[in-house]
Amino acid sequence: MRKVVFDIETKNIFADVGKNDPALLDISVVGIHDSETDSYIAYTEEELGKLWPILEKTDLLIGYNSDHFDVPLLNKYYPGDLLKIRSLDILKEIRNSIGRRVRLDSVASGTLGTNKSGHGLEATVWWRNGEIEKVKQYCLDDVKITKALYEYVLGNKKLHIKEGGTTIDIPLNFDQYLTTESPVITYTLPFN
């Protein structure tokens, strides 16, 4: 089963486009971990053509806030429909479990004892300042955290949130995502 853990950074923010619609933003970097090659790769907007063959052969996309943000934004660039790829949005699963959204940094801190290496708003500034490698590294750092959280749930059936001085357990189970289903994506590019 081929899994791709991914995250996206943008060139702009919602205030720049005047609406809270991810599809109105512009991608600066997409970072992935590809389980088939066990590699981390970051793509700029101009390199997205290299990403499409990987996504078209993916059984499961894994992200954090990905169903609401990353997939709709990336779908704007893809010539087909990425919504047809099975996806696991860890934030959505957390919200379904405890009834509210939680920042990735709070989950990383509580579960992994680590923090994010920056903030998405900083990444837009770095991009505008031409610090492309810094944006790529930040994006891949978030991919590594998301992958570690996914793997933690597989082994422990829970995550932990650190908020203030307390840690809260969140029961989760991703077993339903471990079955391989026939892909339903319509291949729009010549790589199948």
For the domain that residue 49 is a member of, what is the CATH number? 3.30.420.10
* 44: in domain: yes
> 27-56, pLDDT tens digit by residue?
999 999 999 999 999 999 999 999 999 999
CA distance to 3, 50, 90, 145, 182, per residue, from 54 (Å): 10, 8, 21, 21, 16
Give the Cβ contact number of residue 165 at 10 Å.
Answer: 5
| Position with higher pLDDT, 187 vs 160 | 160
Q: Which two tokens stand for residue 158?
A: 């829970």
Mean pLDDT of the chain: 90
pLDDT band at 116 (very low <50, low <70, confident <90, very high): confident
Query: pLDDT-based confidence at 164, cuts 50/70/90?
Result: confident
Is 18 among the domain residues? yes
Domain count, the chain: 1
Q: Is residue 164 included in any domain, yes or no? A: yes
How many beta carbons lie within 10 A of that of residue 105, not counting itself?
16
Could you give the CA distance from residue 159 to residue 152 in angstroms, rounded to a whole number? 7
In a domain, 39, yes or no: yes
Please report whether residue 27 resides in a domain: yes
